[in-house]
Structure 1
Amino acid sequence: MRTIVITGGTDGMGAALARHFLARGDRVVVIGRNRAKFEALVAGVTRGTPSAASRAEFIAADLSLVAESRRVVDHLTAHHERIDALVLAASFIRQRRHVTPEGHEASWALFFLGKYVFVTGLAARLRAAGHPVVVNTAVPGARPDAIDFDDPGMTDAFTFTRSNAQQRRANELLGLLATRDNPALTYVTWGPAWLVKSGFAGDVGLGMRTAATVFGTLFGRRPEKAVAPVIDLIDHPAPGRAALRGAKRLALGGARDDKDAVRLAAVVENSL
């Protein structure tokens, strides 16, 4: 029986993955903020697969806080000998700069610092699996110069576009660090090929919220269809680092990647 860990697993694509792997007979650990949604998800699967409830675990956490990510990693390390797949799908969109009680810029903390803690903190448990996989739902393809190494919290000139690009670039480099540490690891930065019908969690303006709701409703794919490439990645891992939009592979690698990955790790370790 595989152990699948999913952050943001109570809504949208994360929930679709949790339902799939529970129905398949895997052990699934969901990290999120809403236990009621988790219980409804499990109840739905249990109607067709009675054993699902015994293989489902929920850990309540606010992953915009680094301390919470560390607490979850400690719990997973204490209770699971190995982790076969780690899906990093937690999301909360912020259009404006926000600082957490820990002093980190909130989007940087949720979309990168917490993921860094998960990937590095669970490295031994991933290494214990035969064919470990990390799927990071950070849409690939950010420009190489997207990270402000001197000010990753963007205290000056914060914009949603700059913040989004920085997170995406950082998560690509995290894959370089992770696969160096564990050559057997499959690490994929992945984004859906098209809009997905799912709940929209975020602190954004009316325009962005309305556009996301309307276009998602009219043109979005159901989460169950959107995550089919992710399921294939977990079922058929290929060690190394990759980037995909839907099922389409994108080019990775550049002249500055190695240097930037080392620099990023130093910046993050100094800030945590």
Structure 2
Amino acid sequence: MQGSPIFTRSIGRSVEGREIIVHANFGFAVSPPPRNSTLLIGGTHGNEPATVRALEDYLQSPAWEALRQFPTMVLPLANPDGAERATRYNARGVDLNRNCGFNWRPDCEEPPGPAAWSEPESVALRDFILAWQPAKVVSLHWALAEIDADGVQSTPLAQAMWESLDENARRPYRLRVTEPGRGQRRLERIYAACPGSVGQWCGYGLEYADGSAPAMITLELPYDPEAEARPDELPEDHLDTVRALWKTDAAGYLRGIEPGVHAMLATAIRFPAHS
């Protein structure tokens, strides 16, 4: 890539000692942390390679270069041991997206670990977020096909990301937000569905020293970029569909999703979450 450099640092190591790498368009020696920064996360589940490739491609794209003045951090692969095994979990069989310290539950359907923050990958991400205090966090997953906002502070960003898509790009997605005054029922549902997730911790359980909370978006990539519309209930074979697409034509899948993904990420990066 030509133009502004990409600064890179390790924020920790996985269970098996693999480095967890973050890239940024600013030097990590700055102090205090830049205001209104954005953190993009991929590969929390090691069997979701499209999230990793989408962010790696974004770092090499004209879209990234055009946003050099907006402080942005990119963590393409949060679970390197899981990626090595092509499994959802880390090397100890823990779902890192159930291991965070907000609403952590030992009886979770997915293995949450022996305690909240028990895994080195989760701790590395937690400590990095606390140190750099991103105003916006966008975590990519595969493949529920939705823009999901955690916390009322996240709703404006989710709506802006939705509005950045033209009618064709919106087809495979749906928008899910927390509306002021109507959040409790949704909180109960989300807590039951995803206890100890990064989204819950950042969206509902995290507050910085200045009293602000990050806008937290879980961006679920489509299971089929050619779908006519995102149904309310996904087909039972939606994961088989997307994995078959990836196996036979990963490049084609990425071509289908990346224009919309790049538009949404650019919107998130520009969005003035902190005044």
Of the two structures, which has the highest relative contact order with CA contacts closer than 8 Å and spacing of 6 or more? 2
Scaled by the length of structure 1, what TM-score is found? 0.38
Scaled by the length of structure 2, what TM-score is found? 0.38
